[in-house]
Amino acid sequence: MTEKEVRQAVKDAGVKLLESNLVQGTWGNISIRLDDKKMVVTPSAMDYIRMRPEDTVVVDIETLEYDSPIKPTSEKKIHAAIYRDRPEIGAVIHSHPLWSSALAAARKEIPVISEEHKKLLGGDSVRAGAYGLPGTKKLTNGAVEAIKGRNACFLSNHGIVVCAETIEGAFDVCKAMEENSRAYIESVVGRELNKEEIDIDDIFEVFYKRATK
């Protein structure tokens, strides 16, 4: 794809995430590899609907330098680190879907429930990267380590990161991640509370009980 096409694809992916309820407001960030040396990333703190393709930022994968008056996402380090570590990866999404974010707060590795999701997520489990503040080296290193050999991971207390060869593939992984998180929560929390229907308050009730034991 040309740079113009990549910028448009990043914009379209942001809108698609919003429409699919996989991100809220200005949260999360998206990137697509432009070539071996550069990536196109979403700008910092800009709504996906309001964002124009020309508001996306071209960032050097090695140096993180960019030539734009618009500031790129503060999580560009995670995107670049994954591209450096995984030459086959062409797109990365960091997001905060509801069910996945609840599990990210638990900071634990969870199993992947279905065979279909195992193929998309790239393994039998989803790991949680070490906790670090947004934009820090600790958060970046934790994400790269947790996603090795996988297509998705949790960022402890901070949502999820997914990757794939294409942006369409990354979206499918993001969707599978949320579906798997919900299936896991409904299974585990449902058993503990003896309920078939689970809502977000139920999740926090179980997590609170575990945390205060």
Question: By C-alpha distance, which of 76, 211, 100, 71 is closest to 158?
Answer: 100
Instruction: Give the 3-state secondary structure of residue 57.
Output: strand
Cβ atoms 100, 110 nearer than 8 A: no
Torsion of Cα atoms, 78 then 142 then 121 then 105, to 10°: -110
Rounded to whole angstroms, the Cα distance separating 13 from 208 reads 35
Identify residue 184 by its one-letter amino acid code. Answer: Y
**Enzyme catalytic residues:** 75
To 10 degrees, the CA torsion angle through 183, 185, 191, 193?
-140
Structure tokens at 130: 């070490």
204 burial type by CB count under 10 A (0-12 exposed, 13-18 middle, 19+ buried):
middle
CA distance linking residue 148 with residue 126, whole number of Å: 10
Evaluate whether 32 touches 39 at the Cβ level (below 8 Å). yes
Report which DSSP code applies to 55: G
